[in-house]
A and B are shown apart, each in its own frame.
Chain A
Amino acid sequence: MITLYDYDASADCYKARLLLAILKLEYNLVPVDIHPGDDHRQPGFLELNPLGEVPVLTDDGVTLTEVTSILVWLAARHDASGQWLPKDGLAAVTQWLAISARLAASIGAARMALAKTEDFNLAPLQTEGRRLLRVVDEHLWFAERNGADWLLPSAHPSIADIACFPDLALCEEAGIPLLEFPAIRRWLDRVKRIPGFTPTAGIFPAAPGI
């Protein structure tokens, strides 16, 4: 049985919950009370993840503490269709998973700086976030022009889309308006229309498509 150690307000945890929901997998959800409970610094949790961070996923005797590993594991282990981690798209998927970590380190960190949950220097995080957003928007604009809906040039979404979605969807909470990134805004609508999509705090559903 899959168990997810989860904090509701964490964008990384949301990535895991989103993929679990879309793949329609059954799992135990263990809430970790980070604020104000400080659960992640208790000895029991540190035994699970010495870094004291969420999400943590355990499955079939394996413990995973990095969100990109969790997404790869879930897709490789539990997606019989093979479309969420396509073998012929491995180069692009791993590229985008790495980019998703950069989005978290810039836009995600800027969000925490604005919410005062972390004492980060906001401006350089926003500058780096905008630099990445320009590249992502350009990529998606040309993808659309070629009839592709997703980050990978395939007809089906992949874990690359799931990994990048939360930090892009929550950009405005990082003080970065999405107004200058219209192709990203349209892609956000498309991700929200994936069957099984679940919203979270700050992320609204999209109108049904046609």
Chain B
Amino acid sequence: MTNWHPIASSTDLALRHVYHAKLLGQELAAWRADDGHVNIWQNRCLHRGVRLSIGLNDGTELKCQYHGWRYANRTAGCTYIPAHPENAPARRVTNRRFANFERHGLVWASLGADEDFADLPEGDWSPLRAIPVTAPAQMVLDQLAGEKLWSHALRLDIQDDRLIVIVQPLDEQTSVIRALRDGTPDDAAVRRLNRILTSIRVRIEDGATP
């Protein structure tokens, strides 16, 4: 469980879009193919290391903007190298993939080996707007007084709103607060909780500045 982190909201992975993510310092390119499959890959083209997050998602392949190398949905195998149009790329030319799944409107990824994901409370939960914070994840967790669920998540009640708050470590200095609220909050609730989480960010960042 401790290896799994939310890296995006499901709605962040719009069709024909490439989402730029980061987890524990690892840069990721995340994209949803037209068949709904979510691909989370190392964010570099195998050719010259250009970020794939600026690439083109055509629905079935991701194409690098610089020299047009293409990688297939699901396998991440390179399907086309413009400099060698006659030759099928060797089968071993495959980008690095990361395990992922979607639950409660969040996209969860793991940089390590697959392991069971069983600790998330049951029920119906909806994601709020993600709040990036310029502070280490542990500092954010320390500032959120709640009941610990696992190393980087806690249960938290804000007035009448029941929340699960997961803190995604982007790298050693920055993190993202990803909160789930129970049920399906209306627009007013989403805005109210967004304001509260934003004010928590201000407090944490003010404290993080020496």
Chain A residues within 8 Å of B, Cβ to Cβ? 138, 141-142, 144-146, 177-180, 182, 185-186, 189, 204-210
Chain A residue contacts of B191, Cβ below 8 A = 142
Identify whether the interface residues of B are mostly helix, strand, loop, or mixed. mixed
Q: With a CB–CB cut-off of 8 A, which chain A residues contact B54?
A: 204
State whether the Cβ of B76 lies closer than 8 Å to any Cβ in chain A.
Answer: no
Judging by beta carbons under 8 Å apart, are B12 and A182 in contact?
yes
Instruction: Return chain A residues, CB-CB under 8 Å to B15.
Output: 209-210
Binds A, one of B18-26, B98-106, B140-148: B18-26
With A142-B191, A204-B65 already in contact, the answer to whether A185 and B19 are too (CB < 8 A) is: yes
Residues of B within 8 A of A (CB): 8, 11-12, 14-17, 19-22, 34, 54, 56-59, 63, 65, 129-130, 132, 170, 174, 176, 187, 190-191, 194, 198
Q: In the complex, how many angstroms separate the beta carbon of B30 from the nearest chain A beta carbon?
A: 10
CB distance from A124 to the nearest CB of B (A): 14
Do A207 and B19 have beta carbons less than 8 Å apart?
A: no
Q: Add 11 more A-B contacts to A180-B174, A207-B57 (CB < 8 A).
A: A145-B187, A179-B20, A179-B170, A180-B132, A185-B17, A185-B19, A204-B54, A205-B56, A207-B58, A210-B15, A210-B59
**Interchain CB contact (< 8 A) of A210 among B22, B34, B129, B132:** B34
CB-nearest residue of chain A to B51: A172
Instruction: Establish whether residues B20 and A210, one from each chain, have CB atoms under 8 Å apart when the complex forms.
Output: no
Which residue of chain B is the closest to A181 with respect to CB atoms? Answer: B132
A210 proximity list for chain B (CB < 8 A): 15-16, 34, 59
Q: In the complex the two chains form, what is the Cα distance from A180 to B17 in whole Å?
A: 16
Q: Please name the residue on chain A nearest to B20 by beta carbon.
A: A179
Residue of A nearest to B43 (CB): A179
Point out the residues of chain A lying under 8 angstroms from B132, CB to CB.
180
**CB < 8 Å: which of A145, A179, A186 contacts B21?**
A179
| Cross-chain contact A179 with B22 (CB below 8 angstroms) | yes
Q: Find chain B residues with CB under 8 A from A146 CB.
A: 187
Check if A206 sits within 8 Å of B20, measured CB to CB.
Answer: no
Among A145, A178, A179, A206, which residue has its beta carbon within 8 angstroms of that of B56? A206
